[in-house]
């Protein structure tokens, strides 16, 4: 049997070699990080968009007639859905129904915090996405607000004529337990259009108006959309959107404010923040909505993100995170 004696000198030499290797690895890692930051910063400077925003936009799939036909042929019951397992709200979520409409509710942190009624987008045919749930959970955590998220009736089994009355019932229920001064109504895309139409109906019915509206890339004219922006928008397709809009209208006129709230009366609506990107086909219609609101005396603010696409505040990008922070400030009643 052989024994080897390791001297202090050997240990020091070995430690020195290890330290040199560690330092070399750290220098390489630092160089890679710096290179990534330089390249990413260069891309942002040149394109005006963060690398992540470019990645998100490139991953989107263009609407087409085939996807429309498939969605409208799907007779699956969408009246029940679940929150994704990887989304955690800061307080317990309860469920209940208003007629045939499933509703998710997260209580506010306390009785002074606001309550957000959130109407999701999806062309009135698709249900919540993980990005909807993640954004709502984020706001519930950062602001302490309550969240009320209705799984409203969708195409192809239902139309606006069935969905709107249930939403009005839900709002009346909210008023029974929460003063309107604590309620915000918020929505994206189709849910943004639904939000504006709902607010107009609330005013028409002389109910207490919510404190604030937040419209994220709202679909305010189902037959609208700007063709000059179509080539920049690699998600929404105007012709396909119009098909969904006609289906959602059912027996109603597509220019009815319940369907296309751009044509409704804006006078007397609560303060409203509108978010839009210049590279989405809804951009021009959102600007028209803002102008019409201002003319009617509404305290409205327009947030325009250059070279951003549809519902960019929900994107997992720096631009999206910035917009969500701004929305959190709005929820908390802060001024931007």
Phi-psi region of 99 (alpha: psi -120 to 50; beta: other; left: phi over 0): left
Q: Which residues of the chain have pLDDT under 70?
A: 1-23, 25-26, 28-47, 335-336
- Is residue 221 within 8 A of residue 263, CB to CB? The reply is yes
Q: Residue 336: its pLDDT value, please?
A: 36
Closest CA to 304 of 289, 291, 287, 321: 287
Q: Residue 287: its pLDDT value, please?
A: 98
- Is residue 249 within 8 A of residue 163, CB to CB? The reply is no
Q: In the chain, where are the structural domains located?
A: 1-47, 63-331
Distance CA 7, CA 10 (A): 5
Ramachandran angles phi, psi of 118, nearest 5°: -110, 125
Distances (CA, A) of 205 to 69, 74, 171, 238: 37, 35, 12, 33
- Is residue 174 within 8 A of residue 183, CB to CB? The reply is yes
pTM of the model: 0.86
**63-331, what's its fold?**
Rossmann fold (3.40.50)
Q: Residue 118: its pLDDT value, please?
A: 99
Q: Residue 107: its pLDDT value, please?
A: 98
Q: Residue 282: its pLDDT value, please?
A: 98
Across 138-155, b (16+ Cβ under 10 Å) vs e yields bbbbbbbbbbbbbbbbbb
pLDDT tens-digit map of 206-264: 999 999 999 999 999 999 999 999 999 999 999 999 999 999 999 999 999 999 999 99
Q: Residue 28: its pLDDT value, please?
A: 65
pLDDT tens-digit map of 46-56: 667 899 889 97
Q: Residue 60: its pLDDT value, please?
A: 86
Q: Residue 41: its pLDDT value, please?
A: 52
């Amino acid at each position: 049997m052989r024994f080897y004696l390791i001297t202090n000198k050997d240990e020091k030499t070995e430690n020195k070699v290890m330290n040199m290797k560690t330092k070399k690895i750290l220098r390489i890692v630092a160089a890679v990080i710096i290179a990534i930051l330089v390249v990413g910063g260069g891309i942002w400077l040149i394109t005006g968009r963060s690398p992540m925003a470019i990645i998100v936009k490139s991953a989107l799939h263009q609407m087409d007639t085939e996807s429309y036909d498939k969605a409208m042929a799907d007779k699956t019951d969408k009246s029940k859905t679940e929150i994704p397992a990887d989304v955690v709200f800061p307080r317990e979520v309860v469920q209940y129904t208003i007629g045939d409409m499933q509703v998710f509710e997260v209580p506010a942190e306390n009785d002074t915090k606001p309550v957000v009624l959130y109407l999701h987008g999806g062309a009135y045919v698709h249900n919540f996405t993980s990005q909807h749930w993640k954004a709502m959970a984020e706001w519930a955590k950062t602001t302490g607000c309550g969240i009320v998220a209705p799984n409203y009736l969708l195409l192809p089994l239902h139309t606006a004529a069935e969905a709107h009355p249930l939403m009005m019932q839900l709002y009346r229920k909210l008023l029974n337990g929460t003063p309107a001064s604590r309620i915000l109504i918020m929505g994206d895309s189709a849910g943004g259009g639904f939000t504006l139409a709902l607010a107009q109906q609330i005013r028409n019915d002389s109910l207490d108006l919510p404190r604030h509206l937040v419209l994220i890339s709202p679909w305010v004219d189902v037959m609208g959309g700007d063709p000059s922006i179509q080539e920049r928008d690699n998600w929404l397709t105007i012709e396909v959107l119009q098909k969904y809009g006609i289906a959602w209208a059912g027996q109603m006129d597509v220019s009815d404010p319940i369907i296309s709230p751009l044509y409704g009366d804006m006078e007397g609506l609560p303060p409203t923040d509108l978010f839009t990107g210049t590279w989405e086909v809804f951009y021009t219609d959102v600007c028209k909505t803002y102008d019409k609101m201002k003319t009617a005396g509404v305290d409205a603010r327009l947030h325009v993100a250059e070279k951003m696409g549809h519902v960019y505040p929900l994107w997992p990008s720096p631009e999206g995170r910035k917009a969500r922070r701004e929305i959190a400030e709005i929820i908390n009643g802060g001024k931007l």
